Amino acid sequence: AQSVTQLGSHVSVSEGALVLLRCNYSSSVPPYLFWYVQYPNQGLQLLLKYTSAATLVKGINGFEAEFKKSETSFHLTKPSAHMSDAAEYFCAVRLSSNDYKLSFGAGTTVTVRA
Amino acid sequence: DTGVSQDPRHKITKRGQNVTFRCDPISEHNRLYWYRQTLGQGPEFLTYFQNEAQLEKSRLLSDRFSAERPKGSFSTLEIQRTEQGDSAMYLCASSRASGTANYGYTFGSGTRLTVV
pLDDT of residue B101: 57
CB contact (8 A) between residue B109 and residue A43: yes
CB contact (8 A) between residue A106 and residue B42: yes
pLDDT digits (tens, 9 = 90+) for A34-85: 999 999 878 899 999 988 778 899 999 999 999 998 999 999 999 999 999 9
- Which one of A43, A52, A106 has the shortest CB-CB distance to B41? A106
- For residue B104, what are the contacts with CB-CB under 8 A and spacing of at least 6? A34, A46, A49, B95
Kindly list the distances between the CA atom of residue A82 and the CA atoms of A41, A45, A62, A86, in Å, as whole numbers in the listed order: 20, 17, 10, 8
Mean pLDDT along residues B59-80: 93
- B57 lies within 8 A of chain A by CB: no
pLDDT of residue B60: 84
- Which one of A4, A36, A43 has the shortest CB-CB distance to B110? A43
CB contact (8 A) between residue B107 and residue A90: no
C-alpha span between B94 and B3 (Å, rounded): 9
Q: What is the average pLDDT score of chain B?
A: 92
